[in-house]
Structure 1
Amino acid sequence: MNARPAVVLLSGGLDSATTLAIARAEGYACYALSVDYGQRHGTELEAARRVAAALGVVEHKEIHVGLDAIGGSALTDPGIAVPDRPQVGIPVTYVPARNTVLLAFALGWVEVLGGADIFIGVNAVDYSGYPDCRPDFIAAFQRLAQLATKAGVEGREFRIHAPLLTLSKADIIRRGTELGVDFGLTVSCYAADPEGRACGRCDACRLRAQGFLEAGLPDPTRYAAGAPNPGERR
């Protein structure tokens, strides 16, 4: 394969699925990386497997790291409730050091592959206040990649691609749809049930539903029995 290799962080949500589709459309040989970091449910990892298969990656690797041992987030500590309404400031769904850890694994893999490109689906418009979704963080990690790797010291120029950084959720959905992403394969909910059905109450559910409304496209999200559909309440 002559295409340049790129590692794409794939969580199983609609943002990372769109990011993978963008990387593929740009001609990269895509290696998808999903991380089991101790999140509350495994349905997003199952979604990542579906998306990787549907979009035809070269390889899909899963890495396990226990950020739940650290805790401090509603996504890794079952003792902290997932909020059902917007929060002021950085919400309890922030996972300490998550994107730093994920990018570090992606950096190691892309160096081994002989590549220089990493794709991550962070977003600074519809994001939930997370500090590791900001442009400054992405730029800083790219600088770190040059300093922290053998390849970087020897002259390879690493690039951290964040193609969704300045897009609205509606724009992301439109772009993914144009590239053939089946959003019915994805799971975005912070508190999805074991079958991957959404709670309809968390911040991720609200942002996703609003995105489909604003994009003017049908929302394929499956909701748990009795769960509200945030798109229908508006």
Structure 2
Amino acid sequence: MAGEKKKAVVLVSGGLDSTTVLAIAKSEGYDCYTMSFDYGQRHRAELEAAAVSSKQLGAIDHKVIALDLRAIGGSALTDDDIDVPEEESTGIPVTYVPARNTVFLSIALGWAEVLGANDVFIGVNAVDYSGYPDCRPEFIRAYESMANLATKAGVEGNKLSIRAPLMEMTKAEIVRVGTDLGVDYSLTISCYQADHLGRACGKCDSCRLRQEGFAQAGLADPTRYL
């Protein structure tokens, strides 16, 4: 239809990165449809943050998909017997959730097909990230290739794109971009073990990266800490 705006599905967790991605997609002229996952994560306050930020940034629709990743466990975020680390570590950390982004992107891809959206946005980052294999550019490129092979849209020539605009940004750069686009970071929750009120621990990897980002950007950190 003439004049119809382009559509995008944006994966939002309620955290700093994905909320910035939503603001970027909106600034590029997309009608944004946001999707979050209730997958049994410790930090459930993030789901409310995702809904609030989606509304504040003008999402057309926001869906929360229920998945029980606790059924397989294997991560400090989905298994209460594995503690969230509060010291820096090397290698892939125990907060990595097996196959999480692969699963999330697959469901977002399905919604994109239903909506007639050619773009799926995700807030993965390969610079200031925690060592997750599904946050690398190689993964995004491979997933995009698969998406165009596995879908009706791709087969019919409607190329699907997996957009990861934060991939090469530092956390400070992300914070500056989001601030310029009007993101209210006080509404976001990044902590791996935030309490039910959304207050952050200030000790986990995600909290440390967030703190460093605001400090390096020269901006006040609006996070509520325990």
TM-score, with length taken from structure 1: 0.95
Determine if the alignment matches structure 1 residue 52 to structure 2 residue 54.
Answer: yes
d(CA) in 2 for partners of 1:8, 1:199: 27
Select 1:14's aligned residue among 7, 13, 16: 16
Question: C-alpha deviations, 1:86-122, integer Å up to 9, x for none?
Answer: 1110000000000000100110000000111000000
1:118 aligned partner, one-letter code: V
5+ residue gaps in structure 1?
225-234
2:55 aligned partner, one-letter code: A
Task: Please give the residue correspondences for 1:63-78 in structure 2 after superposition, counting only pairs within 5 Å.
Answer: 63-78=65-80
Query: Structure 1 residue 41: deviation in Å?
Result: 2.9
d(CA) in 1 for partners of 2:171, 2:33: 24
- Could you tell me whether the CA contact under 8 Å between 2:43 and 2:191 is conserved in 1? no
Select 2:153's aligned residue among 151, 154, 162: 151
5+ residue gaps in structure 2?
none
Query: Structure 1 residue 38: deviation in Å?
Result: 1.2
2:197 aligned partner, one-letter code: E
> Partner of 2:177 in structure 1?
175
> Partner of 1:219 in structure 2?
221
1:100 aligned partner, one-letter code: T
Select 1:82's aligned residue among 68, 74, 84: 84
Identity of aligned residues (%): 65
Task: Please give the residue correspondences for 1:68-217 in structure 2 after superposition, counting only pairs within 5 Å.
Answer: 68-217=70-219
Task: Please give the residue correspondences for 1:35-46 in structure 2 after superposition, counting only pairs within 5 Å.
Answer: 35-46=37-48
Question: C-alpha deviations, 1:181-211, integer Å up to 9, x for none?
Answer: 0000000000101100000110000000000
User: Secondary structure of the residue that 1:104 maps to in structure 2?
Assistant: helix
d(CA) in 2 for partners of 1:133, 1:25: 23
d(CA) in 1 for partners of 2:140, 2:65: 21
1:142 aligned partner, one-letter code: E
User: Secondary structure of the residue that 2:169 maps to in structure 1?
Assistant: coil
d(CA) in 1 for partners of 2:146, 2:70: 25
Range with bigger deviation, 12-21 or 33-42: 33-42
Query: Structure 1 residue 5: deviation in Å?
Result: 0.8
d(CA) in 1 for partners of 2:128, 2:87: 15
d(CA) in 2 for partners of 1:185, 1:164: 19
Question: C-alpha deviations, 1:146-195, integer Å up to 9, x for none?
Answer: 11111111111000100000000000000000000000000000010110
Q: What is the Cα-based RMSD across aligned positions, in Å?
A: 0.7
d(CA) in 1 for partners of 2:26, 2:148: 24
Runs of 4+ that moved beyond 2 A: none
